[in-house]
Amino acid sequence: MNMCCCPVCRNPIPSYEIERHVNKHFEDDEIGRDLELAHQIQNAPPSPPHLLDSDIPESSTSRDEPEDIDFQICYIISLQTKALFHRIEGGFINLLKTCLETEKNATSIVSGYVDHFQSIPKQDMGWGCGWRNIQMLSSHLLRERPEAREVMFGGSAFVPDIASLQRWLELAWHLGFDKPGSIYFKGKVYGSTKWIGTTECAAVFHSFGLRAKIVDFDNSAGKTSVGRVCGPMDKFVVRRNLNTHNSLPKPSDVSLHNNKQYHLLMKWVWNYFCQDSPKECGKQNVVVVTNKMPLYFQHQGHSRTIVGIQAKHQNNGPKTYNLLVLDPGHRTEALEKSLRENSGWQKFIKRGLHTLTNPQYQLCYVDPGIARGEEAEQLKTLQTVFLQS
């Protein structure tokens, strides 16, 4: 249900009843008292962004009651601000598609619409990449999926700034999504420069009923499994001990092992984007725009957004792959200039097998549809598909 805040009493009211509710404040001789109340509320200091159990007196209304949650949602909606970014005329994907079409002996697959959100010096440079990737994924969801647009960010239909995203994450924790993450951050992230990762991205989307999924690629020996995600991956993506006899593996062994892992990652991304266009993916010298959403791409200390993948066809040899990524650390204007001139854009966007040197990577994406009832409740516990070479 879409809720609005009454400008007089500040209570959350269903949007279809807001006009009648407000008019009631100004009936007969009550107008003077209500106007004075509205004036006092307007000049009062802002309320805290959320309430924790320790902040609520025992005699207060339980925070689990619907009106309490509705009030918090109403509060966040009333404060959230649209994120500022450099909008690329004609759209980023269209410019990229034009450049990819000039490359021979290659098949490229790209996602639909997506905006680039860059980290800004003196604002979020060095810590804000996770939030910027959430913004990039959100720009796609709001544009391409009507059902997501209705439930995301209170139906605002725009991508919020980082401060607003931090409030939504705190609310997700308050609602019981990703309890390990909430414990780690002590339920508070608003106004901080704390790093986040795929788990926080999934928690925010889950709180809207979106079916976010996490895929974990690890270079330790083993097999595919499903496990529980714990903690922000910027902090917890670590190299696992690969040897069982307390001796370091030979460099050649590590190189061979990592090479298998990275091929697995590349192949998974290729299959992901090809899923709805298998015939087109088999052709050479084509660029396919799919309806698949971009991927949140996480490794230790940094994250980016994968918007597609390219396969280069070698003469009498195997295909080589290049991930097509958007990096929050790059300036949008420089990226746009290189694409329009079809010069130097590869260094911004292409990432080949040789660039994948971290021991562990994670991807996050959102399946279509909205979870309801028991399925929505199950989203509170984050799960990951765990792939090992």
Q: Could you report the average pLDDT of every consecutive run of 10 residues in the chain (389 residues)?
A: 62 65 52 48 43 34 54 93 96 97 95 97 95 98 97 97 98 96 96 96 98 86 44 37 30 46 89 90 90 95 96 84 97 98 97 90 96 97 83
Give the burial class of 205: count Cβ atoms within 10 A of its Cβ; 0-12 exposed, 13-18 middle, 19 or more buried: buried
Q: What are the counts of helices (DSSP H) followed by strands (DSSP E) for the chain?
A: 15, 12
Q: What is the pLDDT of residue 281?
A: 87
113-169 residue pLDDT tens: 999 999 999 999 999 999 999 999 999 999 999 999 999 999 999 999 999 999 999
Phi, psi of 153 (to 5 degrees): 55, 40
**What is the C-alpha to C-alpha distance for residues 203 and 23, in angstroms, rounded to an integer?**
38
C-alpha atoms less than 13 angstroms from C-alpha of 367 in its C-beta half-sphere: 9
- Which segments of the chain does DSSP mark as H helices, in order? 18-24, 31-43, 66-79, 92-100, 129-144, 146-151, 162-174, 179-185, 198-207, 233-236, 251-274, 278-281, 332-340, 345-349, 373-378
Q: What is the pLDDT of residue 29?
A: 43
Under 8 Å between Cβ of 204 and 195:
no
Query: Which 8-state DSSP code applies to residue 88?
Result: P
**What is the C-alpha to C-alpha distance for residues 84 and 245, in angstroms, rounded to an integer?**
53
Q: How many CB atoms lie within 10 A of CB 290?
A: 18
Global pTM reads 0.77
What residues contact 199, with CB distance under 8 A and at least 6 apart?
Answer: 178, 181, 214, 229, 230, 231, 232, 233, 382
What residues contact 175, with CB distance under 8 A and at least 6 apart?
Answer: 69, 207, 380
Q: Kindly give the pairing relationship between strand 302-312 and strand 320-326.
A: antiparallel
Q: What is the pLDDT of residue 262?
A: 80
Q: What is the pLDDT of residue 63?
A: 41
Q: What is the pLDDT of residue 280?
A: 86
**What is the C-alpha to C-alpha distance for residues 389 and 222, in angstroms, rounded to an integer?**
7
Domain boundaries, the chain: 3-46+61-79, 92-388
Phi, psi of 203 (to 5 degrees): -60, -45
Q: How many CB atoms lie within 10 A of CB 282?
A: 10
Q: What is the pLDDT of residue 148?
A: 97
Under 8 Å between Cβ of 324 and 309:
yes
Q: What is the pLDDT of residue 2?
A: 61
Q: What is the pLDDT of residue 284?
A: 87
CATH for the 92-388 domain, from 3.90.1300.10, 3.90.70.130, 3.40.640.10, 1.10.357.10? 3.90.70.130
SS3 78: helix
Task: Single out the residue of 167, 176, 141 nearest to residue 155, CA to CA.
Answer: 141
**What is the C-alpha to C-alpha distance for residues 161 and 164, in angstroms, rounded to an integer?**
5
43-81 residue pLDDT tens: 544 433 433 333 333 333 334 433 588 889 999 999 999
208-227 residue pLDDT tens: 999 999 999 986 544 444 44
